[in-house]
């Protein structure tokens, strides 16, 4: 059985992330979306628990996808879970350079851990959580950028 991990900050999950999840779920038998908790990133928009809940609400109906949060070394987590692939989305050459380096770091920790890079769909090539947070600040309609559960939660919190 092929089992892949799709790690990220997902603060918040964007339509670009959701596109990667859909496409990766079609490539692997099992996909675990992992919210990586980084204590160094101050004042996140959503807590790790909220991000997990919002991703779960966004992937409804995707039978082979699960969501978890983790703080620690990604390579150890993946291998301990029995996954042999890390999936990453790449939007441009800057992403590629970063992901190429991270793939080699992770494979340096566990030789059997492969990284599979999925090129971003053209429609989402310019999407990022940072850009979405900026759009929220300026009151832009959120439905263009994030899955419906995130847009609803932002409205509920009076942030969009
Ligand atoms: O969505 P992001 O913030 O671009 O995701 C980056 C992430 C979380 C995938 C990356 O920072 C990561 O893998 N962090 C976990 C800690 C770790 O294992 N670091 C060593 C790999 S370079």
Which two structure tokens, joined as six digits, stand for 19?
């596109």
Answer yes or no: is 149 within a domain. no
Give me the number of domains the chain comprises.
1
Answer yes or no: is 147 within a domain. no
Other C-beta atoms closer than 10 Å to the C-beta of 50 total 17
Answer yes or no: is 23 within a domain. yes
129 noted as active-site residue: yes
pLDDT bin (cut points 50, 70, 90) of residue 46 is very high
* pLDDT 10s digits, 136-151: 999 999 999 999 999 9
**CATH number of the CATH domain containing 89:** 3.40.50.620
Full residue range of the structural domain in which residue 16 is found:
3-125
Query: Could you tell me if the CB of 102 is within 6 A of ligand 1?
Result: yes
Answer yes or no: is 83 within a domain. yes
Answer yes or no: is 139 within a domain. no
Answer yes or no: is 55 within a domain. yes
pLDDT at res. 38: 84
Tokens 């692939």 correspond to 85
Q: Report the atom number in ligand 1 closest to the C-alpha of 10.
A: 1
Q: pTM higher than 0.85 for the full model?
A: yes
Tally of residues, the chain:
160
Alpha carbons 66 and 11: distance in angstroms, whole number:
17
Among 91, 107, 110, 133, which one carries the catalytic annotation? 91
* pLDDT 10s digits, 52-109: 999 999 999 999 999 999 999 999 999 999 999 999 999 999 999 999 999 999 999 9
Answer yes or no: is 146 within a domain. no
Answer yes or no: is 92 within a domain. yes
């Amino acid at each position: 059985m092929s089992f892949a991990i799709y790690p990220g900050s997902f603060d918040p999950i964007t339509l670009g992330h959701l596109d990667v999840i859909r496409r990766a779920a079609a490539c692997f038998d099992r996909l675990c979306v992992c919210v990586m908790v980084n204590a160094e990133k101050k004042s996140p928009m959503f807590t790790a628990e909220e991000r997990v809940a919002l991703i779960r609400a966004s992937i409804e109906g995707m039978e082979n996808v699960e969501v978890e949060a983790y703080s620690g070394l990604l390579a150890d987590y993946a291998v301990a879970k029995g996954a042999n692939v890390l999936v990453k989305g790449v939007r441009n050459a800057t992403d590629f350079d970063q992901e190429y380096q991270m793939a080699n770091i992770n494979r340096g920790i566990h030789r059997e851990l492969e990284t599979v890079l999925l090129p971003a769909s053209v429609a989402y090539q310019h999407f990022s959580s940072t850009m979405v947070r900026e759009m929220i600040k300026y009151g832009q309609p959120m439905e263009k950028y994030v899955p419906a559960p995130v847009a609803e939660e932002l409205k509920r919190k009076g942030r969009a």
